[in-house]
Structure 1
Amino acid sequence: MELASEASIRITGISHDGEGVGRLDDGRVVFVAGALPGETVAIENIQKEKKRLVASLKAIHQAHPERVQPPCPVYDRCGGCQLQHASAGLQGDLKTLQVRDAVSRIGHLDTPVLPTLTMANPWRYRNKGIFHVNEASGQARLGFYSARSHDFVPASGCLLFSNQVNTLLEDLEERITATGRAGHIRKVMVRESKATGDLMLAFITEDQAFRLPKLVEGLIADYPALTSVWHNVLTNPRLATGRAWHHLAGRENIQDAIGHLTVSLSPASFFQVNNLQAQVLYDEVRARAGLTGQDHILDLYGGIGTIGLYLADRAGRLTGVESVGEASRDAKANAQALGLTNTHFVTAKAEAWLPRYLKDQSRPDLTIVDPPRKGLDPRLVDTLIQAAIPRMIYVSCNPATLARDLKSFQAQGYQPGPIQPVDLFSQTAHVECVVLITRK
């Protein structure tokens, strides 16, 4: 069937990437970046992309009443913020719709989805960023690659980062240019503590050694907030960072906080990028946990232990499981610094570790799972079901895999409670969810 070059369509839904979803006259579904549900739009450049149809937005015939002008000057080129053209309230509604659609279409469930919990001020919330270094005519620029391409987009003045971070990035461009060796640095990682204002900086290179020591010396001298500088060796260009980290200057860690929980972060630590909304998410977990002070909590895919540590003061015992050794070490160090004596952390893959553990130990009262976007490993789902874990809290960053896994649990006698979406990534299409799952 031939594709028309242009068409006028009604947008009726939204994809997990924030694209408007509509149908052509022949019934085929088409995805349109920049379009919003309820709008009538003209589209062009209709083409196949993998197994779907995509099109460019040519004109808006009937706009959504909550469509806004994106304040970012490179919004249409960067692709990092897929929903800046929607008001903050509409963004929350769209994320709720996205979760409800996944639960219904993928999970075939009638589980209630609550309204998304959004931010009062949805800007300058990010505490970490990784920026590509681009060199053109000897001038270094820091920025991002446009969505699905290697087109470089400068990140100067990004509205998701604080003024302090943006000032540092702007200065870094000039300092890296002045070295005459901008090509030595592939990326720069900046982490900012929202609790203290301290900054951590990492230079990411493909070379085993960092060869610009005077650059580091100058930054440390001129930026009192820059308290930790690292070098990372990138061996796989498809990854954000490599495994080898070398400390260059300042302290090895910085301190940050989510609500009452203060943690120490190494450069490799996974930490939610939005402190304020992470507290909202963790409070939702805590409200669903129903802890008595005697419970044994099992925290799977625990990272540096933040969710488990957030609950540990109300638990009898906490066992955290994480496959990345550096993260497990951070979790242990943070528990020790907090004076918690009821915690134990294991470095292992949850799906391989849990069956062995359950052979020798009594089943936990509550299991928390916070998997990556691909969701739970099927072996882990089977183990949790066979062990008849009485209560589980699932924290998800992907509504599609959440719906898939909830379907598996419900088919085996578990009942998902209301799903609470939380907007940790304002201006983007991403959304976190938390749901309590109980055995019937």
Structure 2
Amino acid sequence: MRAGNGTIQERTPPYSRREHGLRDIALTRKQSKGTQQPGDKQKKSGKPAPEKQEPRGQADGRNPKPCPLYRKCGGCQLQNMSYERQLSWKQAETQKLLGKYHTVAPILGMENPYYYRNKVQAAFALTRDKRVISGVYQASTHHVVAVESCMTEDRKADEIIGTIRGLLPSFKLLPYNEDSGRGFLRHVLVKRGFQSGQIMVTLVTGTPLFPSKNHFVAALRERHPEITTILMNINSSSTSMVLGPVEKVLYGPGYIEDTLCGCVFRISASSFYQINPVQTEVLYQKAIDLAGLSGKERVLDAYCGIGTIGLIASRRARRVIGVEINRDAVRDAAANARRNHIGNAEFYQGDAGEFMRQMQEAGEKLDVLFMDPPRAGSSRTFLSAVAALAPQRVVYISCNPETQARDIGFLVQKGYRVQAIQPVDMFPHTNHVETVVLLSKGEIDSKKVRVEFSLEDMDMSGFQNDATYGQIKERVLEKTGLKVSSLYIAQVKQKHGIIERENYNKPKSENARQPQCPPEKEAAITEALKYFGMI
């Protein structure tokens, strides 16, 4: 189905700057036992620390001046390391996961790995002594860690958030209290175009009532005339989701634009746009270079979102087809194609695996596939469709090398071979890394070692026709910070008429009492079901 304008839901975790990256679960377990982080020296029990220690610095790979909040905030897990050591650590971890398939190229880092985030999100709270603070939720809690500036965030965005924090008392506006359901301001979201310099400020409120609204907007604009647009997003639900369903434009057009790899993209409050524009250009350019486009290829951009990769690649391809399950994202992609006067790209709403299966049944051919799935990786249905359609080259972009390794194993078993692996450091100071892998069809070189493995040894739990319980849980966690059980998911699915197989998640006794899904978790699960196109 062709579509027009729209938005796409955020994929980044709203409650902290923490990026879920390499070995995140293992690291979380380690941190729960203490404060030791990757790169910290092992603590030896039974031996007191010496009274005097030599300063530690770049010589031993440690950062001598990490942010004083980095352990509380939880957003920069590797900040205790020097940047060179961070890159070495990520390189080694990527090699462990993907090195059995091909040599891993040296990771592409940043020249200046600071102040790179073009999207800054702050939660607001009131302290016991009635001071207004803003910052991030401490990992796995709803406790706000006060942050006035951050070394990974856009400085102007932090400055604007500080101004709003100072304006609230003078306008007698209070932060929203989750327990009482009273108050006004829940969050502030600032997005800044890296190339355009345009700035969007979104005030997320717990009520549609905004006393002295015009005066507040005027005061904010007076202090920051560089702001392009100001929005009010109303989220009055008892939920952990940041953005609500109702949005009002208070000033300006209600969106900003930015240029990425020569294409202009429209960015709304809820649209997904990579938060590190410098490295995004590195990532996308590398992916398109690996695709080896000559202008004659038919290209499919799976999981296309708002069309960034496909539209950038369209200048070097004969035809680009984008497929995305999120209807609003498809509308944005089509609008961006028109905005850039691109006539050889078209976008469809639907499941990418089913779309490719239909292409294969119709006898259609595909030269290059770009795939950039969510952290959970691709489904078996999707990968089977890739194998059946058999594009000559597959460019697999991933924010989770663990699930990427699993998916690559499946494709290798189906006759593909890995030609290149390129890690890119999209999020300095975190344990997150992006990887681009090129796979191609063809005979395996007899001089090279064939990787032998059995699908029985692989974790196939993520391969389902619809989103799995694990994928739904991960979507809810990334979107809201909430953990939900399979029982709660089953209850919500049943409410929406999704029939589970018999006796799934039912109590042993028909009379047994089950805990019922709380409203905020039901809302989060419902959002995930909509995101995956299940309702």
TM-score range, shorter chain: 0.7 to 0.9
In 1, Cα distance between equivalents of 2:34 and 2:290? 37
Residue 196 (structure 1) shift: 2.2
Work out the CA distance in 2 between the residues paired with 1:134 and 1:143: 9
Shift of the alpha carbon at 1:336?
1.2
User: SS in structure 2 opposite 1:283?
Assistant: helix
Give the Cα–Cα distance (whole angstroms) in 2 for the partners of residues 381 and 240 of structure 1: 33
Measure the CA separation in 2 of the matches of 1:127 and 1:392. 30
Q: Distance in 2 between matches of 1:121 and 1:285?
A: 22
Is 1:168 matched with 2:169? Answer: no
Letter in 1 for 2:310: G
Contact 2:354–2:385, Cα closer than 8 Å, also in 1:
no
In structure 1, the gaps of 5 or more residues are 1-13, 24-28, 45-58
User: What is the match of residue 185 of structure 1?
Assistant: 185
Answering whether residue 197 of structure 2 is matched by residue 205 of structure 1, we say no
The residue that corresponds to 2:104 in the other structure is 113
In proportion to residue count, which structure has more strand?
A: 1
Q: SS where residue 114 of structure 1 aligns? A: coil
Q: 1:19–1:32: 8 Å Cα contact kept in structure 2? A: no
Distance across 1 between alignment mates of 2:196 and 2:157 = 14
> Which residue of the partner structure matches residue 95 of structure 1?
90
1:141·1:173 contact (CA, 8 Å) conserved in 2?
yes
Q: Aligned letter for 2:224? A: Y
| More divergent stretch after superposition (241-250 vs 203-212) | 203-212
Cα distance in 1 for partners of 2:138, 2:337 equals: 39
Partner amino acid for 1:175?
Answer: L
Deviations 1:29-70 (A, max 9, x none): 9986544459433479xxxxxxxxxxxxxx999988111124
For normalisation by structure 1, the TM-score amounts to 0.84
Does structure 2 conserve the Cα–Cα contact (< 8 Å) formed by 1:18 and 1:83?
A: no
* Structure 2 counterpart of 1:149: 141
Equivalent residue number for residue 8 of structure 1: none
Distance 1:370 1:243, change over 3 A: farther
* Correspondence 1:335 to 2:337: yes
Shift of 1:211: 5.5
Shift of 1:230: 1.7
SS at match of 1:256: strand
Over 3 Å counting, the alpha-carbon distance change for 1:315 and 1:68 in structure 2 is same
Distance 1:409 1:237 in 2: 40
Moved more, 255-264 or 365-374: 255-264
Alpha carbons 2:394, 2:438 under 8 Å: kept:
yes
1:338–1:178 distance in 2 versus 1, CA, 3 Å: same
- Which of 344, 358, 361 is the matching residue for 1:359? 361
Q: How does 1:255-270 map to 2 (within 5 A)?
A: 255-270=257-272
Per the TM alignment, residue 212 of structure 1 is displaced from its structure 2 partner at its CA by 5.7
Identity across matched positions, percent:
30
Indicate conservation of the 8 Å contact 2:122/2:161, yes or no: no
Gaps of 5+ in 2: 1-20, 47-51, 177-183, 443-535
Amino acid at match of 1:116: I
Q: CA deviation at 1:397?
A: 0.4
Distance 1:18 1:276, change over 3 A: farther
Measured in 2, the distance between the counterparts of 1:31 and 1:102 equals 25
| Aligned partner of residue 190 in structure 1, secondary structure | strand
Q: 1:122 aligns with which of 113, 137, 157?
A: 113
In 2, distance between residues paired with 1:126 and 1:423? 13
Measured in 1, the distance between the counterparts of 2:193 and 2:171 equals: 28
Amino acid at match of 1:134: A
Deviation at residue 141 of structure 1 after TM alignment: 1.5
Contact conserved, 2:38 with 2:77, CA < 8 A, in 1?
no
Please list, as runs of the form range in 1=range in 2, the aligned pairs for 1:33-432 lying within 5 A after superposition. Answer: 34-36=36-38, 39-42=41-44, 65-103=60-98, 109-136=100-127, 137-182=129-174, 183=176, 184-207=184-207, 213=213, 214-234=215-235, 235=237, 237-360=239-362, 362-432=364-434
Q: Which moved more, 1:295-304 or 1:349-358?
A: 349-358
Check whether the contact 1:195–1:255 (CA below 8 A) recurs between aligned residues: no
Structure 2 equivalent of residue 16 of structure 1? 23
Using the size of structure 2 for normalisation, the TM-score is 0.70
RMSD (Å), alpha carbons: 2.9
Alignment length (residue pairs): 404
- Pick closer, same or farther for the CA change 1:31–1:384 going to 2, 3 Å: farther
Other structure's SS at 2:377 match:
coil
Q: Higher relative CO (CA 8 A, sep ≥ 6), structure 1 or 2?
A: 2
Indicate the SS of the match to 2:233. Answer: strand
CA contact (8 A) 1:129 1:189 kept: yes
How far is 1:208 from its partner?
A: 5.0
CA separation in 1, counterparts of 2:357 and 2:209? Answer: 42
**Contact (CA 8 Å) 1:194, 1:256: kept in 2 or not?**
yes
- CA shift, 1:294, in A, is 1.5
Residues 288, 436 of structure 1: 8 Å contact kept: yes
> Paired residue for 1:11?
none
